[in-house]
Structure 1
Amino acid sequence: MKKVPTLDIRRYDTDRDAFVAELGAAYREFGFCCISGHGIPRERIDGAYDAFLRFFALPTEAKMKYHVPGGGGARGYTPFKVETAKDSQHPDLKEFWHVGREIPRDSKFADVMAPNVWPAEVPDFQEFGYGLYEALDQLGTRVLRALALHIGEPEHFFDDKTDVGNSILRPIHYPPLTQENIPNVRAGAHEDINFITLLVGASAEGLEVLTREGEWLPITTEGDAIVVNIGDMLQRLTNHVYPSTTHRVTNPQNDNARKPRYSVPFFLHPNPDVVLDVLPSCVSAENPSRYAEPITAHEYLQQRLREIKLI
């Protein structure tokens, strides 16, 4: 059976050409790759998970204090059964929290990037949550440098397009499954909206990727590996050279169905004013441009958030 490869990102510094070629091949084939050797300390990841679990264990009325009505879930808490995968009949069986980028409130993006809210009941939530945000943001920048080289762009091509990106860290809690909610998958089949997504650890099996052949391929990580996949914005920018692959979170077929599942994806977004216009380096006779009209990253995000019923 095919398997999404795991590549050690330290090879970017020691064996760059081969690493870039292997990484590019993995993304062209699967839209997914597992990245090891990233150097994010285990204590930082475990500390963040611990803080997030303590928040999700709070009573509903305490969590709802951090729900921002009309905010589209951009910051703070989003309760169960709100987000719905595009074209899905059922809402996803999850609750989540959004941590965004800290920017000066006089920034030109202040009107589209709200300030963070932090739960007073979990005093170290901010320290661990934002620490993990920054670590994954830096790792994402390194992955994007390798992806830029693979398509013939300069190494730092993406740096100034993501340095104030509207990126989101999303701790998710999927509750134990009961008879009433069994018909749904925990998260419906979908593609991500952003440039790339970095997924840190998942406490139970369930993540599956749709291959080109139409088969669902389970993804499990080993050691410190982080799953990194392409989102629709990067697919559009690269004219589908890097595909944004459909994936889902299924219900475990064993006792893990009766356990909660936690995962923490980091959605790395471009800066809101970046124009998603097909790169000339990704257009050829075999792959003509698929998009006539450019669109800004912010406009694209709003369009997609409406589709998944967050706004």
Structure 2
Amino acid sequence: MSTTRIPIFDISRFDDPVQRDAFVAELGAAYRQWGFAGVRGHGIGQAQVDRSYDVFQRLFALPEDVKRKYHVAGGGGARGYTPFGIETAKGAQHFDLKEFWHVGREIPRDSRYADSMPPNVWPEELPEFREVAYGLYQSLDRLGAKVLSALALHIGLDEHWFDDKIDSGNSILRPLHYPPITSLEVPNERAGAHEDINLITLLVGASAEGLEVLSRAGEWVPFTADADTIVVNIGDMLQRLTNHVYPSTTHRVVNPKGEKARQPRYSTPFFLHPNPDFLIDVLPGTVTADNPSRYPEPITAQGYLEERLREIKLK
């Protein structure tokens, strides 16, 4: 097992004028190296996380036929329930061992983004799900914006540069359930090696070990954070926007050994996306003689998302 450690930061330092510059420098350097970091001091209380997981576990404990009522056929998994055995990591032979539910941003149905951001689907069997899930969504959305502000400063942008690019972002909260593994001979992994699509991902309260991050040296590094720590990683959209200054790092969720395999695993990532019409075009300040532009053709966030959803078998 690796002795290398992915760094963890207290993000409350960002709000301290004395510590801000040092925090931005340290956080930016960590993301340049790892594409991953842990964040504590974020203000999302353990009671909110615990209540969320209680509701999410009861959601996945509903009968299969009840959950499937909320599967939106042809919706690419954008909202509601996605059954076990569908999502497949890009390039993988076997589907991931998970089921999940997607909660998106609540927007007016006359919004210009309504075509690409469908209404949420709420399970009538759990009336508290809506308040709990969307409350967590909003908390992680605010935290994600703060992380992006720090990363913007690190690469010479204004701290508010991202604000009007993410205020209507097609971001997703994804409560996840990895059921117990009944056969140790399965070729599938709970989540095959992949990179995330979006700007950044915030992972709150993973209930068991399993997350591994691929280091630049090619070593799989386990990253099981403490309860007060949210794991935040760079996605492909931010990698593309910053011309790989911030790398989108490959990661996976491996199957546990022995009796631990018989236990379910729950986790809840929040995928922070830009507004659907945001044009992902390499930032000029990230282009240098040593790092020429890798993406001469810009693409909208929605166009990129649809391209990637087809690759992972959700569309």
- On whether the aligned pair clears a TM of 0.5, the verdict is yes
**Which of these residues, 84, 100, 113, is aligned with residue 104 of structure 2?**
100
1 CA distance for matches of 2:258 and 2:238?
A: 36
Please name the residue that 1:38 is paired with: 42
Structure 2 match to 1:208: 212
1:4 maps to a residue whose letter is I
Structure 2 gaps, min length 5: none
Q: Which consecutive unaligned segments of at least 5 residues does structure 1 have?
A: none
1:100/1:116 contact within 8 Å kept:
yes
Q: Does 1:179 align with 2:183?
A: yes
Aligned twin of 1:12: 14
Aligned partner of 2:171 among 167, 170, 183 = 167
1:65 equivalent in alignment to 2:57? no
Separation in structure 1 between the aligned mates of residue 103 and residue 90 of structure 2, nearest angstrom: 23
Q: Is the CA contact 2:83–2:100 (under 8 Å) kept in the aligned structure 1?
A: yes
Q: Secondary structure at the match of 1:10?
A: helix
Aligned CA RMSD, in angstroms, stands at 0.8
Q: Does 1:227 align with 2:231?
A: yes
Match of 2:300 in 1: 296
Distance in 1 between residues matched to 2:314 and 2:11, nearest whole Å: 34
Q: Distance in 1 between matches of 2:226 and 2:57?
A: 22
Which residue in 1 is equivalent to 2:59? 55
- TM-score norm. by structure 2 comes to 0.98
- Cα deviation, 1:6-55, whole Å, max 9, x if unaligned, reads 10000001210010011001100100000000001111111111111001
Q: How does 1:77-226 map to 2 (within 5 A)?
A: 77-179=81-183, 182-226=186-230
Partner SS state of residue 139, structure 1: helix
Q: After TM superposition, give the deviation of residue 223 of structure 1 in Å.
A: 3.9
| Per-residue deviation, residues 115-171 of structure 1 (Å, max 9, x unmatched) | 001001111100100000000000000000000000000000001000000000000
Describe the shift of the 1:223–1:59 C-alpha distance in structure 2 as closer, same or farther (beyond 3 A).
Answer: closer
**Aligned with residue 238 of structure 1, among 214, 217, 242:** 242
**Matched residue pairs, number?**
311
> Aligned partners of 1:257 and 1:203: how far apart in 2?
13
Would you say the 8 A contact 2:203–2:230 is kept in 1? Answer: yes
Task: Judge conservation of contact 1:206–1:250 (CA < 8 Å) in 2.
Answer: yes
Q: How far does residue 75 in structure 1 lie from its aligned partner after superposition?
A: 0.3
Structure 1 residue ranges, 4+ long, deviating more than 6 angstroms after superposition: none
Overall identity of the aligned pairs, in % = 70
SS at match of 2:205: strand
**CA-CA distance at 1:181 after TM superposition:** 6.2
